[in-house]
């Protein structure tokens, strides 16, 4: 099986020495089980039938030693295999997380967070069962079966052959059930991913759920998913449980064969009662691992279904990578140039149509225009969140596709309206873009962002936990922490993506002042909705339908009396609503 082979070769191989030790202890446990079956013969024949007192204590000592060795060996192989299983879980999760962080934004936009979390937690947990517990159980069961079968064939190969003729039949049924269970398990894992997605959305959007009175609707939606999960899990259990009656019936037939055939031999004096009891004991002991293997096969199939989903994720290649000959960005000027840039999100979705524009080194350039015109798309092309489908984006004369991603993004600081604060301290959030920054540098950045005073007013100052997504701070406070982070990064290129659009007037005034300080001496590209925030820009480009419609300074664009002038009039109240209707419609 390719999946199982990949699972073992990739993740189990690094622990082969520990696995070898575990297999040794499994072999010891299997040997002691065989010894227990073999000891039944002298117990019955010598101690009970012949009443040979000289054999009583040696046989009793043998039983005690066998049980003691079995307990010790079971402990060691269980601990070692658990260590292997937990290590494999950690390895897979580390690899998955590292791989996910390097995938493109397009992947995250097309895949729900709940689905990814489900794969990292639920699917990897099932893989741990498949690799550790299932392989442990399988290994021990196979070794035990080998030893017990050897004992049985050593005593009577004809009787052993008759008893084990049911094994191929049982194996066939178990294999069929395993395939069915794997399909059910795959559906269950997919539904769990959907469940995680819905929970993530409703918990994060709890405010809107309550505001619109949608509690009953959400209860019904989640209730339906829970019902589907119940049915799938129960169906999986029914399929798995079918192996029980199959193995019980077939094993019963084998026991009847052994009792009848062996009983006739004992009655005719061809075999001692002890030898028959020893054979039956070996068979009964072999029945347990056989039944265990049937159950473990279902767990293994569930783990393989999870592995299929995990490997599908790991095999998803990032589309934005460093070229083989990519070099670090090393330029003296940080001007940005868009040369005949074209970009499409899909075959039928053209966002940018042959745009040419320049952002001179150390200057501020603004992009304005209607929603969906392509302003943020242009900004996202600079740090290579997406790659152009035509033309080129140059930084300091270097094509961004020819330099390493790490060096390119190391020259860029981003402040957007979607502030990404993590559930950590304010200090850690400011220092996020520059790990290892000193306390003085963090405080200086906070002062520059007009954040120091409000931070010191909090109960724990810079050690205050901001909550998930910064929920414990106001919008203006979150934005100022984000600006402090950009200041601390001290990158020569600054990208501002509607950084004040979601703020009230007072917060915008404070944040705008901090942004002015941040822009000093940096090449700045601003995407703005409120035109009052970019009147001092060195150049303004009006983007409409993926093209440059107008370009110039604030004064030049007003005198041109085009799209920009109408937008300015609408926002400043200098024109009537009718005159600005086209602009108003465009901005919505």
HEC states along 463-492? HCECCHHHCCCCHHHHHHHHHHHHHHHCCC
Name beta bridge partners: 543. Answer: 548
The answer as to whether 201 is a domain residue is yes
Q: What are phi and psi of 94, to 5 degrees?
A: -60, -45
The pLDDT of residue 585 is 37
Provide the residue range defining the domain that includes 152. 2-314
Out of 79-88, 133-142, 186-195, 565-574, which region has the weakest mean confidence (pLDDT)? 133-142
Average pLDDT over residues 334-359: 87
SS3 state at 35: helix
DSSP H helices, 205-272, are 206-211, 215-241, 243-267
Please tell me whether the overall predicted TM-score, pTM, comes out greater than 0.85 for this model.
no
**22/16 Cα distance (integer angstroms):** 10
pLDDT more than 90, % of the chain:
17
Considering the domain architecture, whether residues 298 and 421 belong to the same structural domain is answered as: no
Considering the domain architecture, whether residues 74 and 206 belong to the same structural domain is answered as: yes
**307/3 Cα distance (integer angstroms):** 7
Considering the domain architecture, whether residues 368 and 248 belong to the same structural domain is answered as: no
Considering the domain architecture, whether residues 429 and 571 belong to the same structural domain is answered as: yes
Considering the domain architecture, whether residues 269 and 177 belong to the same structural domain is answered as: yes
Across the beta sheet with 547-552, the strand order is 412-416, 493-497, 523-527, 364-368, 539-544, 547-552
Place of tokens 């524009």: 357
pLDDT higher at 206 or 368: 368
The answer as to whether 304 is a domain residue is yes
Considering the domain architecture, whether residues 112 and 210 belong to the same structural domain is answered as: yes
Q: How confident is the model at residue 501 (pLDDT cuts 50, 70, 90)?
A: low
Q: Which residues contact 354 (CB under 8 A, 6 or more apart)?
A: 340, 341, 342, 390, 391, 547
Q: Residue 222, class by beta-carbon neighbours within 10 Å (0-12 exposed, 13-18 middle, 19+ buried)?
A: middle
Q: How confident is the model at residue 29 (pLDDT cuts 50, 70, 90)?
A: confident
- Closest by alpha carbon to 299, among 92, 85, 95, 20? 85
Kindly compute the dihedral angle of the four CA atoms of residues 31, 32, 38, 43, in this order, to the nearest 10 degrees.
Answer: 170
Statement: residue 69 has pLDDT above 80: yes
The pLDDT of residue 171 is 67
Considering the domain architecture, whether residues 251 and 150 belong to the same structural domain is answered as: yes
- Would you put residue 112 in left (φ > 0), alpha (ψ -120 to 50) or beta? beta
Statement: residue 243 has pLDDT above 50: yes
Statement: residue 146 has pLDDT above 60: yes
Cα angle 135, 140, 145; round to 5: 125
H or E element, residue 548:
strand 547-552
The answer as to whether 506 is a domain residue is yes
Statement: residue 574 has pLDDT above 70: no
Statement: residue 435 has pLDDT above 60: yes
Considering the domain architecture, whether residues 295 and 376 belong to the same structural domain is answered as: no
Round the average pLDDT of the chain to a whole number and report it. 81
The answer as to whether 242 is a domain residue is yes
The pLDDT of residue 19 is 86
**35/277 Cα distance (integer angstroms):** 14
Considering the domain architecture, whether residues 576 and 481 belong to the same structural domain is answered as: yes
CATH assignment of the domain containing 562: 3.40.50.300
**587/371 Cα distance (integer angstroms):** 6
Out of 327-336, 444-453, 542-551, 566-575, which region has the weakest mean confidence (pLDDT)? 566-575
The pLDDT of residue 213 is 74
Average pLDDT over residues 230-242: 79
H or E element, residue 345:
strand 336-346
**392/403 Cα distance (integer angstroms):** 13
Question: For 481-531, what is the HEC assignment?
Answer: HHHHHHHHHCCCEEEEECCCCCCCHHHHHHHHHHHHHHHCCCEEEEECCCH
Statement: residue 582 has pLDDT above 70: no
Q: Which residues contact 376 (CB under 8 A, 6 or more apart)?
A: 497, 498, 527
Out of 70-84, 292-306, 510-524, which region has the weakest mean confidence (pLDDT)? 292-306
Number of independent structural domains in the chain: 2
pLDDT higher at 145 or 18: 18
Considering the domain architecture, whether residues 302 and 372 belong to the same structural domain is answered as: no
The pLDDT of residue 576 is 41
**438/422 Cα distance (integer angstroms):** 20
- For residue 87, the number of C-alpha atoms closer than 13 Å in the C-beta half-sphere is 15
pLDDT higher at 282 or 472: 472
CATH assignment of the domain containing 295: 1.20.1560.10
Out of 179-193, 404-418, 446-460, which region has the weakest mean confidence (pLDDT)? 179-193
Statement: residue 563 has pLDDT above 50: yes
Average pLDDT over residues 264-290: 76
- For residue 430, the number of C-alpha atoms closer than 13 Å in the C-beta half-sphere is 32
Average pLDDT over residues 294-314: 79
Statement: residue 195 has pLDDT above 70: yes
Statement: residue 335 has pLDDT above 90: yes
Considering the domain architecture, whether residues 445 and 580 belong to the same structural domain is answered as: yes
Statement: residue 584 has pLDDT above 60: no
Q: How confident is the model at residue 588 (pLDDT cuts 50, 70, 90)?
A: very low
Q: How confident is the model at residue 581 (pLDDT cuts 50, 70, 90)?
A: very low
The pLDDT of residue 572 is 74
Average pLDDT over residues 343-353: 79
The answer as to whether 395 is a domain residue is no
The answer as to whether 442 is a domain residue is yes
Q: How confident is the model at residue 504 (pLDDT cuts 50, 70, 90)?
A: low
The answer as to whether 398 is a domain residue is no
Give me the helix-helix angle, 273-314 and 215-241, nearest 10°: 140
Q: E strands along 347-488, which residues?
A: 349-359, 364-368, 390-395, 398-399, 412-416
Q: Which of 284, 314, 344 is the last residue of a domain?
A: 314
The answer as to whether 355 is a domain residue is no
Statement: residue 143 has pLDDT above 70: yes
Token readout for 283 is: 């068979």
Q: How confident is the model at residue 356 (pLDDT cuts 50, 70, 90)?
A: very high
Out of 55-69, 250-264, 381-395, 485-499, which region has the weakest mean confidence (pLDDT)? 250-264
**118/228 Cα distance (integer angstroms):** 16
The pLDDT of residue 583 is 39
Average pLDDT over residues 56-81: 86
Q: Which residues contact 409 (CB under 8 A, 6 or more apart)?
A: 383, 384
Considering the domain architecture, whether residues 370 and 288 belong to the same structural domain is answered as: no
Contact yes or no for 388/356 (Cβ under 8 A): no
**160/282 Cα distance (integer angstroms):** 10
In sequence order, what DSSP letters do the residues of 420-435 get, joined into one string?
---SSBHHHHHGGGST
């Amino acid at each position: 099986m390719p999946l199982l082979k990949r699972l073992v070769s990739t993740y189990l191989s690094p622990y082969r020495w520990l696995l070898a030790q575990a297999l040794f202890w499994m072999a010891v446990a299997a040997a002691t089980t065989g010894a227990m079956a073999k000891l039944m013969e002298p117990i019955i024949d010598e101690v009970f039938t012949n009443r040979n007192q000289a054999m009583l204590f040696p046989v009793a000592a043998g039983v005690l030693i066998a049980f003691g060795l079995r307990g010790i060996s079971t402990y060691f192989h269980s601990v070692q295999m658990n260590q292997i299983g937990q290590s494999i879980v950690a390895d897979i999760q580390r690899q998955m997380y590292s791989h996910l962080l390097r995938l493109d934004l397009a992947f995250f936009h097309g895949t729900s967070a709940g689905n990814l979390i489900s794969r990292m937690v639920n699917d990897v947990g099932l893989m741990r069962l498949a690799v550790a517990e299932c392989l442990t159980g399988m290994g021990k069961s196979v070794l035990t079966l080998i030893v017990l079968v050897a004992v049985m064939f050593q005593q009577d190969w004809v009787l052993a052959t008759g008893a084990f003729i049911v094994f191929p039949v049982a194996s066939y049924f178990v294999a069929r059930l395993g395939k069915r269970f794997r399909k059910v398990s795959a559906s269950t894992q997919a539904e769990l991913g959907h469940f995680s997605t819905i929970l993530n959305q409703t918990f994060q959007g709890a405010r809107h759920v309550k505001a619109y009175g949608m509690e009953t609707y959400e209860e019904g939606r989640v209730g339906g998913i829970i019902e589907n999960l119940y049915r799938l899990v129960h169906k999986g259990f029914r399929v798995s449980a079918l192996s029980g009656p199959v193995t019980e019936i077939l094993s019963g037939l084998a026991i009847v064969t052994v009792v009848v055939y062996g009983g006739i031999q004992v009655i005719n004096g061809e075999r001692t009662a002890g030898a028959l009891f020893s054979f039956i004991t070996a068979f009964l002991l072999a029945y347990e691992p056989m039944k265990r293997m049937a159950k473990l096969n279902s767990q293994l199939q569930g783990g393989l279904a999870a592995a299929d989903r995990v490997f599908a994720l790991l095999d998803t290649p990032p589309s934005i990578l460093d070229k083989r000959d990519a070099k670090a960005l090393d330029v003296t000027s940080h001007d940005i140039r868009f040369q005949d840039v074209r970009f499409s999100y899909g075959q039928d979705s053209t966002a940018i149509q042959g745009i040419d524009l320049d952002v001179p080194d150390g200057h501020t350039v603004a992009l304005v225009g209607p929603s969906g015109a392509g302003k943020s798309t242009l900004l996202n092309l600079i740090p290579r969140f997406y790659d152009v489908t035509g033309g080129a984006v140059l930084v300091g004369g270097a094509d961004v596709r020819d330099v390493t991603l790490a060096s390119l993004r190391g020259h860029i600081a981003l402040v957007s309206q979607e502030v990404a604060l993590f559930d950590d301290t304010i200090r850690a959030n400011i220092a996020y873009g520059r790990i290892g920054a000193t306390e003085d540098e963090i405080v200086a950045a906070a002062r520059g962002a007009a954040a120091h005073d409000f931070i010191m007013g909090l109960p724990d100052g810079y050690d205050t936990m901001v909550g998930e997504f910064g929920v414990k701070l106001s919008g203006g406070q979150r934005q100022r922490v984000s600006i402090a982070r950009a200041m601390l990064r001290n990158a020569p290129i600054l990208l501002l993506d509607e950084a004040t659009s979601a703020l009230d007037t007072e917060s915008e005034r404070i944040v705008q002042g901090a942004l002015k300080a941040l822009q000093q001496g940096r090449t700045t590209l601003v995407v703005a909705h409120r035109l009052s925030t970019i009147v001092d820009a060195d150049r303004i480009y009006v983007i409409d339908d993926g093209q440059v419609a107008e370009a110039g300074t604030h004064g030049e664009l007003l005198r041109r009396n085009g799209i920009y002038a109408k937008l300015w009039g609408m926002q400043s109240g200098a024109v009537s609503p009718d005159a600005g209707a086209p602009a108003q419609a465009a901005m919505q």
